[in-house]
Structure 1
Amino acid sequence: MKRLIAIYLILIGLPLFIFSQDVSNVDFISPFHEGVAAIKKGDTWGFINTEGDLIIDFRNDLVIEYSEDIDYPYFNSGRCLIKEQKDGITYFGYIDSSGHEVLEPQFLNATAFNDGLAIILKLYKNILGRNDVLDKAMINYDYMELAIDPDGEIVHYISEKPVHITLSKFFMKGPPPIRSKFLSKSLIAIRDDNNKWRIKKV
C-alpha cells in the first residue's frame, strides 16, 4: 500500500518537476502577444504565459522580427517563425503555441503571420532528366511568392511566374527577398526590380 501511495505521489509531482522551470536571470521580456511573451536568455528565446510559466523552453531557432518596436519572436494567428540551416541554406517554418512544429522549415523566406496570412517563398524542385555519364538526376529549382494560411494552405499566388534559383550556399548570400506585403486582406503591394510598388487586388 505504501508503495502504491509513493508511486501515486511521484506520478502527480512529476509534471511539476518537468514543466516548472526557473524563469529568472533573463535578458529581455517582450510584451504579450496572444497570451504569451517572448523571453531571452543569452542567445536563446522561450515563451511564458500570463501566469509566468515557461510554456516553450529556450531554443535557438526562433526568428526575431525587426519592425517598428518589435525586436523579438512573437505569435500571431497561433504561429511563430522558426528557421533551420540545411547544407548552409536557411529554411523557414512555423511552430504553434505549444512549441510543436506545424510547418517544418522548408521555405526560402517567410514573414510572420498577420491576421491569418503569411507570405512565403515556396521552393519547387524540377527534375529535368538524367545524366547517364554521372548517373545522377539533372535538377533545377524555382521559387514562387505565395500567401498561406496557418495550416500552410495556399491562399494567393503573388508571383506571376517562378523565379529560378541556384540552390547552393556558394551562390546564395542569404534568403531571397520577399517583394510583397499585405495592405489589407484584399490588397497586396508588390515591389518590382526598380524598387517601385504596384497594388494588386486579391
Structure 2
Amino acid sequence: MKTIFLTLLIIPMLGIGQTIEDIDFISPFHDGLAAVKKGNEWAFIDQNGSIIIDFREDFVLTKTDKGNFPLFSNGKCIITHQKDGVLYYGFIDKKGKISIKPQFLNVSNFQGDKALALIVHKETIGYNDIFKKDVVNYHYFEVVIDENGNVTDHLTQLSKHISPKYTKSKNPPVITSKFISDNLIVVKNDDNKWNLRKISH
C-alpha cells in the first residue's frame, strides 16, 4: 500500500514541466541551447525547456537566415558592457558566467576555438580644462583570439581610428576579416582587396 501511495505522489510531480509564458520569439537550438525573447530581454533554454540562463539585456544578436537572436557557439555567447561611454564586447559560458571579459570593440562568434575581435587602444592626447577630463582617442586592430580571450594573431598592421559616434552607438565598427576555414582567414587591405592568411594553432 505504501508503494502505491508513493508512486501516485511521484507520477504527478514528474508530469509537471516548466512553463514560460508570453514569449515573443524562440530561436532554433544552436550548440544545445535556444534563445527565448520576452520584451527586450533574452534567456536560454535547454532541450527540456528549462531556463539555463535567465532573462537579461546584454546579449548580442547574431544575424541568421532564421532571424536575429543571441546564440552559443563553441560554448560561448557574446555579451556587451558599457564603460566610460564605450560599448565593449566579451563572452559568457553556458552557466551564464563571464568567460572572456568585455574588452573588445567588436567580436565574432567562435569558429572552433578561435574568434575575430577588434582590440582597442586608448590614447590620451590632452586635457580639457573646461570639462576637467582627459581628451582621448581610440584606435583598434583586427585580431584573432583564443578561448581565453588571448590574442593569437594580429590581422591588421595599421591601427584604425574609431569615430566618436561609435562610443555612443550600439553599432560597433565592422570586422572586415573573415574565416574561410578553421585555420584560414581573408583580410581586407587598404585597396579593398583580400589577403589570405594562415593563422596560428
> TM-score, normalised on structure 1?
0.76
Q: In structure 2, do the counterparts of structure 1 residues 136 and 193 end up closer, same or farther at CA, with 3 Å as the change threshold?
A: same
Letter paired with 2:114:
L
Matched with 1:185 is 182
**How do 1:1-202 residues align onto structure 2 when only pairs under 5 Å count?**
22-126=19-123, 139-165=136-162, 168-169=164-165, 174-202=171-199
Report how many aligned residue pairs link the two structures.
181
Q: In 2, distance between residues paired with 1:124 and 1:170?
A: 14
Q: Percent identity?
A: 41
Does the 8 Å CA contact 2:188/2:194 hold for their aligned counterparts? yes
Q: In 1, distance between residues paired with 2:45 and 2:116?
A: 27
Letter paired with 2:142:
E
Structure 2: which 5+ runs fail to align? Answer: 1-16
Q: Deviations over 1:46-73 (max 9, x none)?
A: 0011121101111111111013335211
Matched with 2:12 is none
Does the 8 Å CA contact 2:86/2:166 hold for their aligned counterparts? no
Q: In structure 2, do the counterparts of structure 1 residues 196 and 137 end up closer, same or farther at CA, with 3 Å as the change threshold?
A: same
Q: In structure 2, do the counterparts of structure 1 residues 100 and 190 end up closer, same or farther at CA, with 3 Å as the change threshold?
A: same
Structure 1: which 5+ runs fail to align? Answer: 1-19
Does the 8 Å CA contact 2:41/2:56 hold for their aligned counterparts? yes
Q: In 1, distance between residues paired with 2:166 and 2:68?
A: 29
> TM-score, normalised on structure 2?
0.76
Letter paired with 1:123:
V
1:145: Cα distance to partner?
Answer: 0.8
